[in-house]
Amino acid sequence: MAALARPLDGARQGRDLLRFLSLSPVVRQGIGSFAGATRARARAAGLISANVALPAEELDMELSELALHAAGTLALEHTPIAAPLEGRPLSLILQLVTAEGARLRGRSVWLRHCDARGGNWGAERMLQGRGVSDATGVVQFDTVCPGSIEGRQAHLLCVLEGPEGLGCRILLPEALSEVLRRTDPRYDQPRVPIRPLPGVYPGLREDSAGHVATLVLVLPG
C-alpha cells in the first residue's frame, strides 16, 4: 500500500471534501467512477480512496444482528477471518476518519458476509472477522468476494464497536458478480433476479491476487 500523504488542511476543508465525495453517485449508486483529478485530490488529502461513506445509525435487521454480536464481545483484538476461504480473494481496506478528516486509531470493526456459495444468514457459510484501525485509521480484511444471498445483491456488512452503533452495507457491483458466476464455478448459483440493496460502493480494482476494495468511513471523533 502506498504511503499516506499529509492530512487534510483545516477542519472546514476536510468536512467539505468528505461531504462532496460521500454524496457522489459513484458511492451511493455505483454509477461511473471518479475522475483522475478527484482521486488525486483524495490521495493528496491522505485518504486511501475517493469512495467515502457515512455509516448509518438506523440499522436494519442484518446490521442490527451483527451490532448485537459485536456489543457482546469484550477484548479489543484482531480476529482474522478464519480459513479455509472459498471464493475469489478480496482485500477489503477501510479507513476510519472524523468529519474533519482526522484519523481514528484503535477503533474496532466487525465484518460479516457469506462465501462464494451464498446461502442465507442463518447458514454455516457466513464468514466473520474483526479488525482494529492503526495509526492511519486503516483496517484490512483479507477474505473472499461474497456470493449473492437469496437473490440479493452481493454485499458485506460492517459495524463499528462503540456507543454510536454505526454500521454499513458494502455492496459489490452486479457486473463483478456476473463475471464471477460465468468464470468461477464456486459462484455457480441458481439464476434468479438479483434485488439491489441499500448500501455504499467501495473503490474496486483487480490485481494478480484477486480484487481490492477500498472505502473511507466518516465517524464521530
Three-state secondary-structure class, residue 213: strand
Pairing of strands 210-218, 89-97: parallel
Q: In terms of Cα–Cα distance, which of 77, 89, 51 is closest to 216?
A: 51
* Angle of helix 36-44 versus helix 11-22 axis, rounded to 10: 140
2 within domain boundaries: no
Mean pLDDT (whole number) for 213-217: 97
The DSSP string of 86-127 is -SSEEEEEEEEE-TT--B--S-EEEEEEE-TT---TTSTTEE
Give the tens place of pLDDT for each residue, 108-131: 898 988 888 875 555 555 788 889
Mean pLDDT (whole number) for 164-179: 88
Tell me the CATH number at 41: 2.60.130.10
| pTM (predicted TM-score) | 0.86
Range of the domain at 61: 11-218
47 within domain boundaries: yes
52 within domain boundaries: yes
Q: In terms of Cα–Cα distance, which of 90, 69, 99, 83 is closest to 170?
A: 90
Q: When comparing pLDDT for 114 and 191, which is higher?
A: 114
Mean pLDDT (whole number) for 134-156: 90
Domain total of the chain: 1
